Structure 1
Amino acid sequence: MATITAMSPLRARLALKAQEAFVCRRCLHGPPSTSPSFRLLRNPRATLPVPPKPLRQPIRNHSRTQSTISSAHQPSSPLAALSQTISRQAAPSTTPQPSSFPSTSTPSVAYWLLASATSVFGIVVFGGLTRLTESGLSITEWRPVTGSFPPLDPQTWEAEFARYRQSPEFKMLNSSMTVDEFKKIYWMEWTHRLWGRVVGLTFLIPTVYFVARRRVSARMAVKLVGICGLIGFQGAIGWWMVKSGLKDDLLETGSHPRVSQYRLATHLGTAFVAYLAMLWNGLEILRENRLVRDPEAGLKLLETLRHPSLRTFRRSVAGLSGLIFVTAISGALVAGLDAGLVYNNFPWMGQNILPPKREMLDPFYSHTPDHSDLVWRNMFENPVLAQLDHRVLATTTFTAVLALWAYSRYSPAVQKLLPRSGKMGMLGLVHLVVLGISTLWFFVPTPLAAAHQAGALALLSGVVVLGGRVWVPQRTVRLVRHAVEQAQGKSGNLVARRGPDAMMRAKIARPVSV
């Protein structure tokens, strides 16, 4: 610029005209008073103001390095900046992209899962009432869509009643039944099936919504899809069970018209698995969110639960849950065989604690000439031995619950390390285990029999809740540790952004506590 001012006025004007071709648009279209060419044209002898030199200040090595790197990458012209932008967009990213699913599911998913589990609990109890009132075989067809609409006129009711008159149950037990009596059992079974459809829809639609909106983790999304498939499979098993009581060729000769005890146990077991999956995952989501909310306290709790002194207690809870599940399934075999009507006193079975050996191992139930299947056939098909097995399993469960409670109460290490929530869960499990013996004493009345089945599911729920409070999944530990690292990283980044001078000012301004 100094060479321009040394030229003649005419040559200076021509040189400035050529220079303006390389001046940015902001300078060209700005106010004339701020344009360097305007100032030089007005006074060719004038010189442009030289920017002041920066004051020499001590700069740290890392700051100098960062400023050098940033100045080296700073574009020298608008075209260079555009070229750098295009190259960044064209270059493939080498860093792994994070998953679109969050690390933890939202609490609303947990509340929905617990509400669905409550609905499944209700339909299990209502299904027991349907069986006790012998209403399960009143609908002889399986229509998943059109079966949602009940008969609304006398002609439709007569058609339904005509189909029921072809079933073995009507021919052998209810040959004198009228249409009005048929309506009572029909409404029971229709309500049970409609409730099952409602459970399926209220689980499928929210699952699609939560997965599509990324309200659940990737792992939880897979679990929800699996539970949806389990619910659909449960409906198919229900019809497979009912079908066993509608055909003569599926019934044993001279037997009472009822569904197969094997299919009944499968139907009930699948419902239990679906219920427990909803309950466990709902509680797991709430627990993860609670631990991540305060990660330092959560990590301390998890480290306490992972103490070697609690290992035996945790494994005992897992074994107890399996024992309770097997006991409940054996109860389904008793219900399918009507074995509760054989012996109605407890703990005696007749005159002794054990029934006669001839009744327990009856050759009538063996299907092979050499009686090689005598034992297992009697266990699953003989009402006497099926009831004895259920009594033994129930007594073992009762003893195991009390023994585990005593271990948690009187073991010094467990008493010290077990959190308060675990102690309350153990005490609730003791309260739930005392229900059931009165069912036999009063000759299996319908209300007490339904309460007996509800008590079994409640006991299973209690041990699952207890297990969720003392079990420590590795994934939960990783989530809490990651939350702790993130919290520590945020505090470290805050100190780095503020710098030593800002931290010194904050220390000076901080009031001194007396």
Structure 2
Amino acid sequence: MSSLAYRLERQPATTAAARNRRAVRLWLYAVALVVFALVLVGGATRLTESGLSITEWKPIHGVVPPLSAAEWQEEFELYKRIPQYEQMNRGMSLDGFKTIYWWEWSHRLLARGVGFVFALPLAFFWLTGRLEPFLKPRLLGLLCLGGLQGAVGWWMVASGLSERTEVSQYRLATHLTIACVIFAATLWVARGLTPRDAAARPAPAASRRLSVAIVVMALCQIYLGGLVAGLRAGLIYNTWPLIDGAIVPSGLFSMEPLWRNFFENVLTVQFMHRCGAYLLLGATLVHALALWRMVPATRHAGGAGLLFLVVLAQAAIGITTLLMVVPLDLALMHQAGGLIVLAATVVHARSLWGSYPAVSAAA
């Protein structure tokens, strides 16, 4: 037998099941990319104070924006009835209203788009038998999370339509975190469908557990960032490393009962967000050093080192954003950085845990 024929015989055949896995994996990466864009547009909507410009929830009819001067005026009149207009934007022109309206409309359109990008291919893969049994409950769970997120989005907007001039920070942080859970879970499943490398050295069990803890820490840090955004806490205490002139400032627990400080005290919320960043940075450093000691010069160790550098870069962006009092471009870069950090933690953790079993053994 010639060497070429021998090599061809040794190569694994590309089965239909393997091709299906690849198609599903690429589809899920596309979904994650759209969710990434959605969260960024949501961040811009929040930073431009545009989130309350559409005062009604129209899941179907709302796809079509105002098409005439009369329709634009009707939407503007609805906006004039809420406290944000009365207290913050009284006297706004119709052109000014259109600017904030387009941000919120784009955010809602992207949210609907994610639903179609996920649901239609899911139906196709399911009905044509291209989904392995173990994938079905995972993908249905993601679909349910998406539906829940739509309801939470309106629940968030509704909090700013009657008595407040902005949405509740509790609801904003919840809305942001659920979006990031969907993003992370989508990447986790997609990464798990990567073909297994039989020659790869297994990661130590302790490092696998820590990698998952780091994913959870990244999600918690995003939740804290949502509270910071909801309270506009980044617009004050714009010094670093000191906060209000101290490493641990006074006034952290000035509210009663105690738990309110962690959600409503602007100083405490910003302090907790800073501490979360330090904790995440420290955890990724310890994780990288441990892997370099236990499995040096491996893909696992290299991935942990890269993860630490990504978190370090995000910390630098966060500090710069704070010191410059949250300009729009840096604030959006910081939000994008948070998603990139989350993606890096998920991809790294999933690689340590390994791909899903081979097609024939999947369950």
TM score, norm. by length of structure 1: 0.64
2:305 alignment partner, one of 398, 417, 427: 427
- 1:451 matches 2:330: no
1:229 alignment partner, one of 129, 132, 144: 144
Aligned to 1:321: 215
Structure 2 SS opposite 1:305: coil
2:35 alignment partner, one of 113, 120, 123: 120
1:14-53 alignment runs, 5 A limit: none
Contact 1:425/1:465 (CA < 8 Å) preserved in 2? no
Distance across 2 between alignment mates of 1:157 and 1:470: 53
2:254 alignment partner, one of 362, 365, 368: 362
Q: CA deviation at 1:106?
A: 2.3
Which amino acid in structure 1 is aligned with residue 280 of structure 2? Answer: T
Deviates further, 463-472 or 178-187: 463-472
Off by >3 Å, runs of 4+ in structure 1 = 101-105, 479-483
Q: CA deviation at 1:171?
A: 0.5
Aligned to 1:414: 295
Structure 2 SS opposite 1:360: coil
Distance 1:260 1:426, change over 3 A: same
Aligned to 2:186: 278
Aligned to 1:76: none
Which amino acid in structure 2 is aligned with residue 186 of structure 1? Answer: Y
Distance across 1 between alignment mates of 2:337 and 2:210: 21
Contact 1:320/1:463 (CA < 8 Å) preserved in 2? yes
Which amino acid in structure 2 is aligned with residue 463 of structure 1? Answer: T
Structure 2 SS opposite 1:395: helix
Distance across 2 between alignment mates of 1:240 and 1:321: 27
- 1:219 matches 2:127: no
Q: CA deviation at 1:472?
A: 3.9
Distance across 1 between alignment mates of 2:361 and 2:262: 52
Contact 2:38/2:111 (CA < 8 Å) preserved in 1? yes
Distance 1:223 1:480, change over 3 A: closer
Aligned to 2:228: 334
1:370-385 alignment runs, 5 A limit: 373=257, 375-385=258-268
Distance across 2 between alignment mates of 1:381 and 1:327: 16
Cα RMSD (Å) of the superposition?
2.0
Contact 2:80/2:86 (CA < 8 Å) preserved in 1? yes
Structure 2 SS opposite 1:462: helix
Contact 1:138/1:164 (CA < 8 Å) preserved in 2? yes
Aligned residue-pair number: 343
Which amino acid in structure 2 is aligned with residue 450 of structure 1? Answer: L
Structure 1 SS opposite 2:55: coil
Structure 2 SS opposite 1:218: coil
Contact 1:102/1:218 (CA < 8 Å) preserved in 2? no
Q: CA deviation at 1:173?
A: 0.5
Q: Quick one: higher RCO (CA 8 Å, sep 6+), 1 or 2?
A: 2
- 1:396 matches 2:290: no
Aligned to 1:259: 167
Deviation sequence 1:177-204 (CA, Å, 0-9, x none): 0111100000110011011111101111
Distance 1:197 1:155, change over 3 A: same
- 1:439 matches 2:321: yes
Distance across 2 between alignment mates of 1:353 and 1:386: 15
TM score, norm. by length of structure 2: 0.90
Distance across 1 between alignment mates of 2:360 and 2:54: 55
1:178-189 alignment runs, 5 A limit: 178-189=93-104
Structure 2 SS opposite 1:415: coil
Structure 1 SS opposite 2:295: helix
2:343 alignment partner, one of 461, 466, 482: 461
Structure 2 SS opposite 1:400: helix
Aligned to 2:202: 305
Deviation sequence 1:101-160 (CA, Å, 0-9, x none): 969952111101001101101110110010000000000000000000011111001100
Which amino acid in structure 1 is aligned with residue 217 of structure 2? Answer: L
Aligned to 2:59: 144
Rg comparison, structure with higher value: 1
Distance across 2 between alignment mates of 1:217 and 1:126: 34
Unaligned runs of 5+ in 2: 1-15
Contact 2:41/2:106 (CA < 8 Å) preserved in 1? no
Q: CA deviation at 1:401?
A: 1.4
Which amino acid in structure 1 is aligned with residue 228 of structure 2? Answer: V
Q: CA deviation at 1:427?
A: 2.5
Structure 2 SS opposite 1:115: helix
* Residue identity (%): 39
Contact 2:295/2:301 (CA < 8 Å) preserved in 1? no
Distance across 1 between alignment mates of 2:84 and 2:38: 24
Aligned to 1:497: none
